[in-house]
Structure 1
Amino acid sequence: MKQQDLVVSVDCSTTGVKCVIWDSAGQLVGDGRSTLDLSIPSIGYGEQDPRQWWSAMCIAVTEAVRNLDTQRIAAICVTHQRESFACLDDFGEPIRPAMLWLDARATEEVESAGTQRVHDVTGKPPNTTPAFYKLLWLQKHEPETLRQTRHVVDVHGYLVHKMTDQWRTSVASADPLGLVNLNTADYDDELVAQVGLHRNQLSTLFPPGTVLGELRASAGSALGLPAGLRVVAGAGDGQAAGLGAGIIEPGRAYLNLGTGLVAGTYSDIYAPNSAYRALTGPIAGTFTFESFIGAGTYVINWFIDTFVQQSPDAAGSTESIEQRLEREAVQVAPGSGGLLVVPYWNGALTPYWDHNARGIILGLTGIHSRAHIYRAVLEGLAYELRLCFDRVELGLSDPITVVVAMGGGSQSALWCQILADVLRRPIVISGQQESTCLGAGMLAAAGAGLYPSVRAACSAMTSLGERFDPNEELSQTYDRFYTVYQEIYPSVRPVFTALKNAMT
């Protein structure tokens, strides 16, 4: 019998499905991708056909294993977009399109049902992201949908059923729906009843890293994998990314520098706080405290699209636009000549939770060039992260001493150094940019018995890259500007409401 030393990880995100095959040392040996359609039928809505989750997964996995000996594969594990859910009938078919995490239609339900108890039980400050509020919206606006619903599933639960024919999911996958009591790691009967459901309509919960079942023959044929393969409980994409970055002990945080900025810290203790959202961790019995800035590289791309791409000097250069801007911004002194950017282009999430908030560029004068503005954007995102970290540490037993960065933004040496100087913490680049898939791979490796525990799998499969240490002199400069930065949003918050009213 051949040695089974490979694992399959699948990341079913909002816009596509990615599959990565890992060896037991955490090295990528195969990958595949497929896109997903995103439907926005009305402003603030976000929907998807859940059947595409499976069809896209089949394409991605088949591509990833095409040139591999599949008999070497020991297990498969799924990570995924969180909070998104589907309502299914008795045959497992969707009754309506899945409602995604970004769907913000349930604003009235948040205002009426976002109580202190809901926050204390679930760890989720009131906002439109959790499925709890969208299920309340369905109760009011589509009662027939819930009457016909036999199963409500998260993305992980849907794909596990497709693979095993079992209605099972990971607690670290279902938790973001907002129906799980983080004190018990089980569904909260009061919240389940409040949305008009019963326990038998929800997938059975298992700890991440647990074997949920075996791959049935027809599913294996569709995926290009052998029947009987172990299917292991995964975790939401944020928790999986933290695991893939090696965040398995206090004092460490991960930072995904993507379209939005997601930062997560490890905790052994559950402590709800409005400064972050608390989640079940990727290791059973642990928790992830997560900060989220809705506009990260989104603001950078907005700046480039709006002000730079049509610039007369954009043509004929061998440099990319980002490289040219970074070269220019390096010449600007820290503080950007008194220019401060508050990056609320997509509203304010942690720690303020204000969907009326808007982006601010403060301090413009005639001396400021595009390089000043570009650097101020990078610094503003760093200030906002420091604000989030300062609040998150209030719920932690140990301060954050090192930050592991990943995502497209981590390729900018300038930004990484700014982050280190502003946060006053070392920034270490993750050795594997596919950290989310790697986290799922670690869970698969532990579930398959390649390692005795998830922690052991993480220790063996994690690698780190370049390190950026804070410069004390520059940190002192940024401290002065950060003091001013903290005053901006509280000072103008009432203006955002007045602006909204003026636009209606």
Structure 2
Amino acid sequence: MSDHRKKSPLVLAVDLGTSGCKTALVALGGKGDNGEIESASVIGFEFAPVELVLPPGGGCEQRPEDWWQAFLITAERLLKKQSHYREQIVAICCSTQGEGTVCVDEKGEVLGNAILWLDMRGAPYVEKLAGGWPSVSGYGAAKLWRWIRLTGGAPALSGKDPAAHMLLIKHEHPDLYRRTHKFLNVIDYMNLRLTGRAAATSDSILTSWVTDNRDPANIRYDDGLVKMSGIEKAKLPDIVKCTDVVGMLRADVAQQLKLPQLPVVAGSIDNTASALGSGCVDFGDAHLYIGTSSWIAAHVPKKKTDVFSSVAAVPCALDDRYLMTALQSSAGSNLSYLKDRILYHEDELLREEHVPDVYKILDRIAERTEAGSGGLIYMPWLYGERVPVEDRTLRAGLFNLSLEHNRSHIIRAFFEGVALNTRWMLTPVEKFLGKKLDRITIVGGGATSNVWCSIFADTLGISVRQLDQPVQANALGSAFMAGLALNLIKRSDISERTRIRATYQPDPDRRTVMNRSFETFLELHRRLAPVYHRIRGLKK
């Protein structure tokens, strides 16, 4: 083990995403014996998958107990392998998927499945809540003005956030609503299980759209917004900062993990954590996260909203600034879909119990296939879209498929389709920031693919910096939050302790090809959006 790891404080960092739970030991880094800055690094991690539950009608759920068991499994496995580091662990901190809703009773017991950020069943209720005359993009103008002025955003008309989830429960499951003591987001539920305290972080409560966010250091409930939401205030948890110590690790959990009762730092949802883990803490320094979903985010000095493109600056882990966030619904999930539902779907054609490392093979195939995929365009809208259009009716598809194409073209088109969609999002992001980006730092599972990083550089037309441990961005961000909470690091230390593995520059020839593909991509959306609206029974 390196000297700085022997000396560095360690954080048990939990990264609970839609696909599963990763628990990591993170060294905060610092000055080495030679005076040079040692980067923060993940010493080891363990992963356990979590199953999705897909009820009819646009539902998407998970079982909170599965989250907890996945955490215990991964933490116990990790701590057993890294037992010699136990005494250096100073805190526990989680980052999780956002925009989920968990109902708990007065004893903190779960009352049913968690409704996830992909769930659209609450759309009719939030549309009714948000509507009014005169109408602006589906919102009553007065309501929209109030939401934006106080919160920086507004409930998603797609139904994909807790504002809609809670209304769905209230109207379709009134007994469950009555028995619910607190509505919690995913990070809030994990902290409840770790400490016994029910509290919301300043970023996890955002998409309930009931808080006054005009002072980033003092996020608080607004009684008028709470009343407008239709949800009783008593059912909403207290609010804490991401860098607050929410409590001490429960004795029974500490005993099971063979740890002392460590401080549990409140932590955050995933986009807040990745913003720190990417090292992009300076104003306007952007990162691109490619996981199940994707986003572009950058810290900015003021609260601001672009309602037409669904881009907003929202509360984050740093209480002297906001985080501009632009979110897209499906990114890495497109490759997962290709692998699990098409290439290795178990049916009469395939009954293999074990499959190869598919993603590495997909990388090799995509790398040897020409840019532009032979004119094949993939639209990656598996579950609607959010930025730059809020449209739950959009669906994925391949365009221009012919006898000239083979599987290699299709695979490359999947990679390029996500990159084209990201370029579509880049336009309102740059408008919001008031500048053209010349670089972006890429993190998340998708950032482990060198060929995908290159495709993003060619498609976006800017430098793409690949984080050294891109899958660990959320874990690194959680560790940085714990370091800030315990005064072990300063904000200015974060960028210094972040290591970049490689930088990818746009290739002029491939850039020209991807420019043409992007023009076709935009035209496909213009022409197909009305068709999607019609076949899904909605008015354009």
Letter paired with 2:473: S
Q: Could you tell me which of 226, 243, 252 is aligned with 1:209?
A: 243
TM-score, length of structure 2 as denominator length: 0.82
Contact in 1 for aligned 2:101/2:165 (Cα 8 Å): no
Q: Give the 5 Å matches for 1:70-469.
A: 70-114=86-130, 115=139, 116-117=144-145, 120=148, 121-124=151-154, 125-184=156-215, 185-227=219-261, 229-273=262-306, 274-278=308-312, 279-303=314-338, 326-327=363-364, 329-330=366-367, 332-432=369-469, 433-451=471-489, 453=490, 455-469=491-505
Give the SS at the match of 2:286. strand
Distance 1:53 1:290, change over 3 A: same
Contact in 1 for aligned 2:99/2:207 (Cα 8 Å): yes
Give the SS at the match of 2:239. strand
Give the SS at the match of 1:417. helix
Letter paired with 1:28: V
Q: Structure 2: how far apart are the matches of 1:473 and 1:37?
A: 42
Q: Structure 1: how far apart are the matches of 2:275 and 2:20?
A: 20
Give the SS at the match of 1:395. helix
Contact in 1 for aligned 2:290/2:332 (Cα 8 Å): yes
Q: Structure 2: how far apart are the matches of 1:201 and 1:322?
A: 43
Q: Could you tell me which of 24, 37, 41 is aligned with 2:28?
A: 24
Letter paired with 1:434: Q
For 1:201-252, what per-residue CA distance to the aligned partner results, in whole angstroms no more than 9, with x for missing partners?
A: 322222221222333433322333202x222121101221121111212333
Percentage of pairs with the same residue: 26
Contact in 2 for aligned 1:257/1:409 (Cα 8 Å): yes
Distance 1:39 1:375, change over 3 A: closer
Distance 1:163 1:497, change over 3 A: closer
Contact in 2 for aligned 1:9/1:441 (Cα 8 Å): yes
Q: Structure 1: how far apart are the matches of 2:407 and 2:278?
A: 34
Distance 1:308 1:226, change over 3 A: closer
Give the SS at the match of 2:428. helix
Q: CA deviation at 1:388?
A: 0.1
**Moved >6 Å (runs of 4+):** none
For 1:134-175, what per-residue CA distance to the aligned partner results, in whole angstroms no more than 9, with x for missing partners?
A: 111222122232222222222222332333333333212222
Contact in 2 for aligned 1:347/1:356 (Cα 8 Å): yes
Letter paired with 2:113: P
Give the SS at the match of 1:68. helix
Give the SS at the match of 2:204. helix
Q: CA deviation at 1:117?
A: 4.1
Contact in 1 for aligned 2:41/2:476 (Cα 8 Å): no
For 1:38-72, what per-residue CA distance to the aligned partner results, in whole angstroms no more than 9, with x for missing partners?
A: 43344422334434444433333233223134332
Distance 1:69 1:382, change over 3 A: closer
Give the SS at the match of 1:434. helix
Contact in 2 for aligned 1:332/1:371 (Cα 8 Å): yes
Q: Which moved more, 1:102-111 or 1:190-199?
A: 190-199
Contact in 1 for aligned 2:279/2:494 (Cα 8 Å): yes
Distance 1:224 1:103, change over 3 A: farther
Contact in 2 for aligned 1:251/1:402 (Cα 8 Å): no
Letter paired with 1:438: L
Partner of 2:133: none
For 1:165-189, what per-residue CA distance to the aligned partner results, in whole angstroms no more than 9, with x for missing partners?
A: 3333321222234333332422232
Contact in 1 for aligned 2:14/2:95 (Cα 8 Å): yes
Q: Structure 1: how far apart are the matches of 2:361 and 2:309?
A: 36
Q: CA deviation at 1:434?
A: 1.0
Q: Could you tell me which of 40, 65, 68 is aligned with 2:79?
A: 65
Letter paired with 1:7: V
Distance 1:469 1:110, change over 3 A: same
Contact in 2 for aligned 1:70/1:225 (Cα 8 Å): yes
Contact in 1 for aligned 2:163/2:207 (Cα 8 Å): no
Q: Any gaps of 5 or more consecutive residues in structure 1?
A: none
For 1:316-338, what per-residue CA distance to the aligned partner results, in whole angstroms no more than 9, with x for missing partners?
A: xx996655655555455433333
Letter paired with 1:282: A
Letter paired with 1:280: P
Letter paired with 2:325: E
Distance 1:421 1:410, change over 3 A: same
Q: Structure 2: how far apart are the matches of 1:148 and 1:323?
A: 48
Letter paired with 2:104: L
For 1:357-405, what per-residue CA distance to the aligned partner results, in whole angstroms no more than 9, with x for missing partners?
A: 1224333344333333333332222221111011122211443222212
Q: Structure 1: how far apart are the matches of 2:377 and 2:248?
A: 54
Q: Structure 1: how far apart are the matches of 2:116 and 2:456?
A: 31
TM-score, length of structure 1 as denominator length: 0.88
Q: Structure 2: how far apart are the matches of 1:383 and 1:110?
A: 30
Contact in 1 for aligned 2:21/2:74 (Cα 8 Å): yes
Q: CA deviation at 1:489?
A: 0.7
Q: Structure 2: how far apart are the matches of 1:231 and 1:160?
A: 8
Q: Structure 2: how far apart are the matches of 1:309 and 1:217?
A: 44
Give the SS at the match of 2:120. coil
Distance 1:104 1:224, change over 3 A: farther
Q: Does residue 521 of structure 2 align to residue 488 of structure 1?
A: no
Q: CA deviation at 1:444?
A: 0.8
Give the SS at the match of 2:15. strand
Letter paired with 1:396: L
Distance 1:159 1:383, change over 3 A: closer
